[in-house]
Amino acid sequence: MHSKAASYSAFQKFFNRCLREWYVQYDQGTSFYYADPPGILFTRLRSKKNVKEASVDMSSWYFGMQQEGIHMSSLLHGNSLASLEFDSLKRNAYGNKKEEIYSTLHLGYDTWYSSFIAGSILDGYHVAFCHQYDVAFNSFYHFGRVLEIDFENLKTFPKFRLLTGNLYNLPSLLDRELFKCIVLHVTTKNSKELLRSRIIYALHQMLITGGSLVVVLKEPGLLPKLRQYLPFLKNAIGIEKTDDRPTDGYKRYTHRPVSKPYSIGGIYYNGKQQSTIPVTASGDYKKSVTAYYLKYDEGNLVPVVVGLEKSTGSDNYYYHKRRNPLVVTSSWETEFDIYQESDLSPKLATISTQLKQFVVLNLGQTNGNYYANGEISKPPPTNPNTQIEVTGPNYIHTIYKRYKHSPAGGINRMRLLSTKTTSKNIPVNPHVYRTEYTSANVYYWKEDSRHTKPLLLGLESTDTAYFRLNKDSSEWESCGKALSDLNGELDRENCTWNDAHVLDISQKSNYNCPSCIYKQVKVTNYGDNCATSEYSYSHLVGSFFRFKDGVTEQTGINFPQSTTLVFVYYYPKGSEGIPLLVYLQDSSDKWYQRTSLDLTEWTEVSQGKPDGPTNSSEILQLLKAKLPTVTIDISKTDAQTGYEDPSEGGEVKQQIKVTRQNLEDEYVGFSHWVWIKMVSYLRRSNMVTLYLEYHLIPFLKV
């Protein structure tokens, strides 16, 4: 969700201001800076020899402590981690002590982590700890968008705090037992720092009695390393994935607590307890839980069957299915006639008829058809007839390609599970599978011939919802409730992913790229000792692919990918000069000129092409040929003979005709005419040099 003021640049500017203030205060000897509003605590990221630094009392920033003391608040019921399926946290283990607010602490430090937990912060109290500033910013951005932050009316986050600091200084920052749940997100990259006895022990000291430490492993290979810390982990759950169980086209996850004794007090999905699965109906449940999904449901969005292992026998389960798998809040019902996994196949065949609209969008497919799993040649066993038809491209604003993906193969509506490229799966955040769409549009820059960098995703139902890729292209994020400027959004994304920055040939001093507004273009007057220095300016940036004259898009110049430096030549000299000539020095070594002053098209110079950017005589000859000029002498009033163009230089002097016009109130006007060549006129203030088609009327009192 977007606040109207919550643009990405607004988040960047605010966070950078906070960082600068923290650096200033640190230089002055303070140990922390608390930005309130919105509620961000800055402390040092590094510590010498891993020693603790000055402590920060939690009353400086924790919920309800700053003003009237700690106060009573309702507790989040259920797991706060949005993507942890069917956990074993005891739902009755948490009870608020009087006058205390208990919260959930999140730790981890990649950008995926920040978006991973952002969707769970609307319920309960949450604290996110980051020990890298880039992840802290991404967390602030994701959380701020969910909470609809408005920088014009900034307020403290009511139930969220963001902390930055050193992992080894955690006990000094979080010195009270106020956390009912700590979620530790572990990846291969951060496992060496997070999976340390010192860290695990410190986290346990922050938990309330009955609280839980939940360890989320992004890679299954980390499980052996985690096991050495099991003495500290009292509620660890092991998850085993098995493909094509109970039949082709499905996958099974087995959730089994790895430490004993244990009992499972509740089953949760997406942070919500599935209370209609009677896990405690016969007392404490101490066996495993299985969950089944479509195999091509990469995000595990739609659980179709849940199995509770029976306490006696082998391969004996109580199975439960959702009454309506398309409704998140739908209740579960027990399948009393199914006892073993081998009996599930007929039941799943019936369920799959309700799932035939589920598709994975193949972003790289630009024609023909593909199947529901996004594959071109191998359909999924569950929905083998569902297909997606791709048509296009249709060109948008001349430089963008749009490919339309429409449901086919027996369906006229589709539900999107995720998208995919040749190398990875890209989910949509927030999830959109609950909405039926008539088509999906994928936008590319016209120069992206391999279709590897999609710019926007548009999903059409009654309205069109637009999504852009996040910073690391790991997921699609919403562009907001409405997208009023499709072209502008495409321009910004084009700069981000293709470095297709825009050259503004009207500029004669440094400026920011008109599309992304972040990349600065350096403009230099070329050569102080060059005869063309008053006419030429060089534009330097990482790469150019498009150009404008002010707000008007120009066409006709094909910028090679290596173009970083462009020379623009103006005529006449001075502030009134018009850009008439462009030189690409890099690999192309080409010159381009305007076809006409009233058109936006440019053509390559074929005759009289200068041999370099400083060849003044050839350059000026091209400029003057494109825009012949004369100088008007307003002191001339002889309507009988006129006068000769007083401009210096030039082989042929042009004759300027003067006509007299008597006006009211004792005034007279004189028109200065020259009839040589029709040239469109663009009026500039206080001009001395005048273009041919225009006639000037100076008014004199008689």
CA distances, 97 to each of 159, 180, 210, 655 (Å): 18, 11, 12, 98
Kindly compute the dihedral angle of the four CA atoms of residues 15, 19, 20, 25, in this order, to the nearest 10 degrees: 140
Global confidence as pTM: 0.60
* pLDDT: which is higher, 292 or 278: 292
Kind plus residue range of the DSSP H or E element containing 203: helix 197-204
Statement: residue 5 has pLDDT above 50: no
Is the per-residue pLDDT at 612 higher than 70? yes
**Which are the contacts of 604, defined by CB distance < 8 A and separation ≥ 6?**
590, 591, 592
Give the pLDDT of residue 77. 27
Give the pLDDT score at 218: 66
The confidence score (pLDDT) of residue 440 equals 98
Q: How far is CA 13 from the centre of its chain?
A: 16
- The residues, any chain, with a CB within 8 Å of residue 501's CB and separated by 6 or more, are 495, 513, 515, 516, 519, 521, 541, 542, 543, 544, 545, 546
Q: What is the mean pLDDT of residues 265-291?
A: 84
When mean pLDDT is compared across 254-263, 467-476, 605-614, 617-626, the lowest value belongs to: 254-263
- At residue 78, the pLDDT reads 29
Q: Is 571 left (phi over 0), alpha (psi -120 to 50) or beta?
A: beta
Instruction: Using the predicted structure, report yes or no on whether residue 92 has a pLDDT greater than 60.
Output: no
Q: How far apart are CA 158 and CA 164, in angstroms?
A: 19
Tokens (6 digits) for 317:
């389960």
Rounded-to-10 torsion of CA 602, 608, 614, 617:
-120
- Using pLDDT thresholds of 50, 70 and 90, give the confidence band for residue 302: very high
pLDDT at 61 over 50: yes
pLDDT score recorded for residue 152: 78
Q: Specify the pLDDT at position 588.
A: 72
CA dist., res. 60 & res. 82, Å (int): 29
Q: What is the mean pLDDT of residues 368-384?
A: 95
pLDDT at 205 over 70: yes
pLDDT score of 68: 34
How many Å from the N-terminal Cα to the C-terminal Cα in the chain?
70
pLDDT of residue 540: 81
Measured in whole angstroms, how far is the alpha carbon of residue 511 from the centre of its chain? 24
Q: Greater confidence, 422 or 375?
A: 375
Q: Kindly give the interhelix angle for 133-146 and 8-27, rounded to the nearest 10 degrees.
A: 130
List all residues 6 or more positions away from 290 whose beta carbon is below 8 Å from its beta carbon.
252, 253, 254, 255, 306, 307, 309, 317, 341
Residues 6+ apart with CB under 8 A from 198: 168
Q: Read off the pLDDT of residues 652-699 as tens digits, 9 standing for 90 and up.
A: 677 888 888 888 777 888 888 775 433 333 233 233 333 333 334 444
Query: What rounded mean pLDDT belongs to the chain?
Result: 79
- Tens digits of residue pLDDT in 379-412: 999 999 999 999 999 999 888 999 999 999 889 9
pLDDT of 163-197, one tens digit each?
888 888 888 888 888 888 888 888 777 777 887 77
Place of tokens 């007839």: 385
In contact, 34 and 180? CB cutoff 8 Å: no
Read off the pLDDT band of 233 (50, 70, 90): low
| Helices and strands per DSSP (H, E), number in the chain | 10, 42
Predicted pLDDT at 453:
93
Residue 246 has pLDDT above 70, yes or no: yes
505-541: per-residue pLDDT in tens?
Answer: 999 889 998 888 888 888 888 655 455 666 778 888 7
CA distance 700 to 702: 6
Q: 648 pLDDT band (50/70/90 cuts)? A: low
Q: Report pLDDT digits (tens) over 331-365.
A: 999 998 888 898 898 889 888 888 999 999 999 99
CA dist list (Å): 138 to 141, 299, 389: 5, 21, 36
SS3 327: coil
CATH number of the domain located at residue range(s) 1-235 in this protein: 3.40.50.150
Q: What percent of the chain clears pLDDT 90, i.e. is strictly above it? A: 24
